[in-house]
Amino acid sequence: MSSYASLFTGAPADASAPPPQPRQQYRLLLVDDEPNVLKALQRVFRQENYLVATAPNAGEALALMRQGEFHLVVSDYVMPGMNGAEFLKQVKALYPETIRIMLTGHADTGAVMGAVNEGAVYKFILKPWNDDDLRVTAALALEQHDLIRKNHALQQENSKKSQEISALSKLAVSNRSHLAIMLNKHGLLNGNQVQELHRLQQKNREPVVKLLLDKGWVEERQIRDLLRKELLFEEVALAEFSIDPAVAALIPRSFCERQLVVPLKLEGRRMTLAVADPLDAGLMDDLRFTSGLEIQAVMAGIAAIKAKIGEVYGGGEAVDFAELETLVSDTDPYEGIEVVIEDDEEAPSLEELLRGTEEPPAIRLVNAVILEAIRLGASDIHIQPRTKSVVVRLRIDGVLVDKIHIPHQMHQSLVSRLKVMSELDISERRRPQDGRLMVKTPLRVVDLRISTLPTINGEKVVMRILDRNAAVHSLDGLGFGQQALRQIRDMVDKPQGIILATGPTGSGKTTTLYSLLQHNATPSKNYVTIEDPVEYYLDMAGQVLVKEKIGLTFPLILRSILRQDPDVILLGEIRDFETAEVAFHAALTGHQVFSTLHTNSAVATISRLLDLGLKPFVIASALQGIIAQRLVRKICEGCREPAVPDLQLLERLGEPFRRAGLRVFRGKGCAECHDSGYKGRLGLYEVLTLDEQLCHLIGTGASVLEVNQAVRLSGMVSLIEDARDKVDQGLTTPEEILRVLGPQ
């Protein structure tokens, strides 16, 4: 163990020390009342070098744990007799070093709150699980178990550092200072400054008074004068105090330096403590609780406190707080936290809202929701307050699924936590707000586009997940038919003109545009994109983010880009006449432009452009082609099987589906697709290219009926015909076509 100690103490390793003992084999306990689930869990860990035991209920599991140590317990929630939450609480109480993971397929309030409030689990995972994720989670948990063991050994090795580590583990406070609120009430800070201080405190975990003075918004002398006059706090001259070393040993030096405190004297059960911020309620409460002493706070200047710390603890090298904090951290950082539910119907104050975001359940819940959405490949997260509860819904493969139900009491702190993370105004609950947030996970970095909307049941929050690491698909991988693919390649190979991708929100238009952009991309061209938000990150392109709040709009950026000598321009969306006019002008002056428009079909796009105010001859001259598209769920290849056609359903889908010989398939459900029968999505497309006759009709102002007749004669494959081909190929189902395209 001395070889490990040298990494932390700096002492040279003992060459004569015996070699480290081989790592013991990990023991896992799997608890579930369903035999099939236990077999599936055993299969997950089959290739790992673990000793795996199983139990059908909590009683038998506890009996096994009394017979020998288990490093990791994976438990179901719904079980006869004792549920998973109660079982894991007992495991935590009896075997605190055992790592605990909960699995549940019900996603109900009891499971979520049991995990969140009690700190009884290392991680909360929804059924059906991902095998790889579960293996990685278990491996990380066991690695943490080893670290805890090593930390305990290090503490026993060095008595002085062990005492300091033990003290610091008890004094890991959560700063909850009311100083910023008081300064705000006295006009020395505004609301934005208060929120900024709170955000920095959450990020840096430093006392508010230090952050406040670092910003230079208020002088320290002003703060102390206000505390002395308004709240009658006693101010002391530290130079006059002679501090007993036994009193100083009660609080470690590292803690004093970080929290800007110093113990002065101990009289019976009362400790006098000099502090820089006497309004830090979290610091005072935790010191009272961990020391068992009554704390009397007196006020002193920061410089005087630092000088007294150096005098009392000596000039020796202090233990690094960051290292100690890592060593003493355990699996349950939020133990002993109580959730206080407010029953007051009045709008909460800024102070209450800020305090609510610090509640560990809100932090745990937000992290759990975001990570679960990323794991399941969701595109959107909906936090929707209803009459009886708040529902977390995930949009997976284009379909919303209810995942978690949480109590209304947690809603406000959950929303406030998200607002603080995305730098929104937490005190404004009557108007919609929009923000952005970046989330880093061990495997992925994603951007979240956050939108809040006040409803009669409370604020609804919707988060769009944008994966920074998502790869751009090739044209061949988008699902185009042979004819459509040939037409698109011809359009992209033309050096100028505009190509439009159309369809409703969420139909994959931006994905198609990026595939067009990347097709035949060469270093000899200048590529520029204008988006809101940026959905794919490409090094070869100059990507510009629209910011409406500061006047950085689509038309303004587009005009500026035309002076940047672009060859290819990707315009996120044509919303109005001004944007359309500049885009079509760029297409007429030698640039290749890709953009999107919200219309239902390729022919309807021409009518929409005319409605925006563009002249017919401009459309006919600049427009190269239109790609109308939809996204449907794809049948899981692992469980696809032939199915009997539903004639009534095929009748509703129109003429293409009434033709004889149509083959129909379905997914019966398997572990790979989580029993849904679908996995992934593919596109339905209709591609319209403008030949001479169509250009003539558009340029001369022909009616929509005439344009439609010309398109039919040109042999364009419509959306419903492309859908029929994909159903016949076994790629999707008639039910999915009806959901996306509706009756024909």
Q: How far is CA 271 from the centre of its chain?
A: 44
Find out whether 179 and 209 touch, Cβ atoms under 8 Å. Answer: yes
β-pairing, 497-502 vs 380-385, is: unpaired
Find out whether 247 and 295 touch, Cβ atoms under 8 Å. Answer: no
pLDDT-based confidence at 530, cuts 50/70/90?
confident
pLDDT at 336: 30
- Crossing angle (nearest 10°) for helices 411-421 and 191-204: 90
Residue 563 reports pLDDT greater than 60: yes
Query: b/e per residue, 363-375, with b = 16+ CB within 10 A?
Result: bbbbebbbbbbbb
pLDDT digits (tens, 9 = 90+) for 235-244: 888 877 888 8
Q: CATH topology of 27-150 equal to that of 475-633+681-718?
A: yes
Query: Among 3.30.300.160, 2.60.120.1440, 3.40.50.300, 1.20.1250.20, what is the CATH number of 179-313?
Result: 3.30.300.160
pLDDT at 156: 62
> Which tokens is 296 given?
């009397």
pLDDT at 562: 83
pLDDT-based confidence at 499, cuts 50/70/90?
very high
Of 192-201, 449-458, 727-736, the least confident: 192-201
pLDDT at 317: 41
DSSP string, 115-162: HHHH---SEEEESSPPHHHHHHHHHHHHHHHHHHHHHHHHHHH-HHHH
pLDDT at 324: 33
Find out whether 434 and 450 touch, Cβ atoms under 8 Å. Answer: yes
For the residues 146-169, what does the mean pLDDT come to? 59
Find out whether 664 and 734 touch, Cβ atoms under 8 Å. Answer: yes
pLDDT at 411: 85
pLDDT at 341: 33
pLDDT at 500: 93
Cite the DSSP H helix spans in 384-481: 411-421
pLDDT at 372: 83
pLDDT at 702: 81
For the residues 587-609, what does the mean pLDDT come to? 89
> Which tokens is 470 given?
């998502």
pLDDT at 16: 47
pLDDT at 345: 40
For the residues 690-700, what does the mean pLDDT come to? 87
pLDDT digits (tens, 9 = 90+) for 314-359: 754 443 333 333 333 333 333 332 333 333 344 455 545 455 444 4
| Domain 475-633+681-718: top CATH class | alpha beta
The highest-confidence range among 8-22, 82-96, 729-743, by mean pLDDT, is 729-743
pLDDT at 143: 78
Q: Dihedrals φ, ψ of 660, to 5°?
A: -70, 155
Q: Distance (Å, rounded) from C-alpha 409 to C-alpha 389?
A: 9
Put the strands of the sheet holding 270-275 in their side by side order. 261-267, 270-275, 294-299
pLDDT at 110: 58
Q: Quick one: which of 245, 248, 230, 225 has its CA closest to 301?
A: 225
Of 161-170, 184-193, 550-559, 592-601, the least confident: 161-170
Residues 6 or more apart in contact with residue 602 via CB below 8 angstroms: 502, 626, 627, 628, 686, 687, 688, 711, 716
Residues 6 or more apart in contact with residue 151 via CB below 8 angstroms: 165, 327, 328
CATH T-level topology, domain 27-150: Rossmann fold (3.40.50)
pLDDT at 342: 34
Q: Distance (Å, rounded) from C-alpha 497 to C-alpha 590?
A: 7
Residue 462 reports pLDDT greater than 90: yes
pLDDT-based confidence at 24, cuts 50/70/90?
low
- Crossing angle (nearest 10°) for helices 734-741 and 719-728: 160
* Single-letter amino acid code for the residue at 499: I
pLDDT > 70: what percent of the chain? Answer: 83
Place of tokens 């935590």: 92
For the residues 477-483, what does the mean pLDDT come to? 84
Place of tokens 């009756």: 743
pLDDT-based confidence at 382, cuts 50/70/90?
very high
Residues 6 or more apart in contact with residue 8 via CB below 8 angstroms: 154, 323, 327
Q: Distance (Å, rounded) from C-alpha 92 to C-alpha 98?
A: 7
- Is there a cis peptide before residue 12, judged by omega within 30 degrees of 0? no
Domain spans in the chain, listed from the N-terminal domain onward:
27-150, 179-313, 338-467, 475-633+681-718
pLDDT digits (tens, 9 = 90+) for 503-524: 988 888 888 888 888 887 888 8
User: What is the average pLDDT value for the chain, to the nearest integer?
Assistant: 79
CATH T-level topology, domain 338-467: Beta-Lactamase (3.30.450)
Q: Dihedrals φ, ψ of 574, to 5°?
A: -95, 110
For the residues 632-642, what does the mean pLDDT come to? 90
Q: Distance (Å, rounded) from C-alpha 315 to C-alpha 148?
A: 31
pLDDT > 90: what percent of the chain? Answer: 8
Residue 556 reports pLDDT greater than 50: yes
Of 223-232, 615-624, 658-667, the least confident: 223-232
Place of tokens 């803690």: 255
- What three-state secondary structure class fits 600? coil
Of 349-353, 378-382, 671-675, the least confident: 349-353
pLDDT digits (tens, 9 = 90+) for 70-129: 888 888 888 888 888 888 888 888 888 888 888 776 555 555 565 556 666 767 777 777
